[in-house]
Amino acid sequence: MRRVIISGGGTGGHIYPALTIARAIAAMEETEFLYVGSRRGLENTLIPKENIPFVTLDVRGLERKISLRNLLTLGKTVAGLVAAKKIIRKFNPHVVIGTGGFVCGPVLLAACLSGIPTLIQEQNVIPGVTNTILSHFVSRIALGYEAAATRFHTKSKLVYTGNPVRREVLTVTKEEGRRILGLDARRFTLVAAGGSRGARSINTAMIMVHEYFKNMDDIQIIHVTGEDEYARVAAALPGIDADGRYGRGSRIVPYLYTMPAALAAADLAVYRAGAVGLAELTVRGVPAILIPYPYAAEDHQRYNAQNLVMHGAAKMILDKMLNGKELLEEIVRLKEDKAALAAMAAAGRALGKPQAAHDIAQLALTLAYGGKQYGECN
């Protein structure tokens, strides 16, 4: 049995890939896992539900300027490194995997200093600060985007795997997705979502979209607003019912637990450009209008979106340019151009990496078995 530490924290964009990789490893080999997260991140809610042993470190991210807070943070980082070394000494893993977030820093560095094989999975075109630093020490780097290779100096460590995607995203058919959501199998289906917390700019622009299509029978819209934004959007659409239904085809909800079904059902998506969301869109071949989050570190969402645009899989509207009219015009144009949608879908599928989780798991197990290709060693 191999022992594996996985570390990733702060946001779902780091945690969900970690869980997907863990499930892929578990499907290949009986494994004992330990998840190391931060005390304040979303992982404190998500990981205990997965029945994975979970411990935390008291660490924080550095600000991009000289400040008193950074001095305090550096102190916590040193303390976190000491604590991480104790965790590693006690658990004695065969490999340590990091999926991003500042908590990965002390965990993977402690593993490197202890001579344990290490792997980081970089989801974005523009690597984060933590992964950029760690790249000089770790054994391997699994890239979510091939274009990210230019951002790393240690080329021999790079492996282009794509970003891991949840199994349920791959297995739901379009017919099943529409049945699960109670959608008409014949209508054009638009899915709009701005992430679990919502995106005010997307939600505001979508109000005009709902109003325009209110009395049309050939389109249905699933709009996920985020919990904090739902009341504001609902108040702007007179006539919305208690279930979030508006007009003849719109359904507006604060959160959707069946997003894999929504992706399967979609003919077109309006999305942010987080790496996990884009990986799911591409493996499903869903054409998309992307509105990158403008405050993401290093503007990485814009670079993620540009990668899809350059390959013909998506259109992009910058957040500062987004309004109801601009978004509506793009939706109407694509809705009426079946050839353009088909070309975008094909381009997306060509970029998608449905085997990414398996390939990353295999890479991790290869490291865990001392570098011998996994599959030849047991």
What does each of the 378 residues of the chain score in pLDDT, given as a tens digit? 899 999 998 888 899 999 999 999 999 999 999 999 998 888 998 899 999 999 999 876 544 444 445 444 445 667 888 999 999 999 999 999 999 988 999 999 999 999 999 999 999 999 988 899 899 999 999 999 999 999 998 899 999 999 999 999 999 999 999 999 999 999 999 999 997 666 999 999 999 999 999 999 999 999 999 999 999 999 999 999 999 999 999 999 999 999 999 999 999 999 999 999 999 999 999 999 999 999 998 899 999 999 999 999 999 999 999 999 999 999 999 999 999 999 999 999 999 999 999 999 999 999 999 876 655 444
- Indicate the DSSP class of residue 190: E
Establish whether 362 is an annotated binding residue: no
Establish whether 140 is an annotated binding residue: no
Which segments within 236-344 are labelled E, that is strand?
245-246, 250-253, 268-271, 288-290, 314-316
Structure tokens at 374: 């996994």
How far apart CA 192 and CA 268 sit, in angstroms, is 9
Kindly write down the DSSP assignment for every residue of 340-359, as one continuous string.
HHHHHHHHHHHH--TTHHHH
Alpha-carbon Rg of the chain, whole angstroms? 21
Establish whether 166 is an annotated binding residue: yes
Establish whether 44 is an annotated binding residue: no
Which segments within 259-359 are labelled E, that is strand?
268-271, 288-290, 314-316
- Closest alpha carbon to 142 in 161, 129, 127: 161
Establish whether 38 is an annotated binding residue: no
Place of tokens 């990981």: 47
- Residue 40's pLDDT is what? 83
Indicate the helix (H) or strand (E) that contains 85.
Answer: helix 68-91
Establish whether 3 is an annotated binding residue: no
Establish whether 323 is an annotated binding residue: no
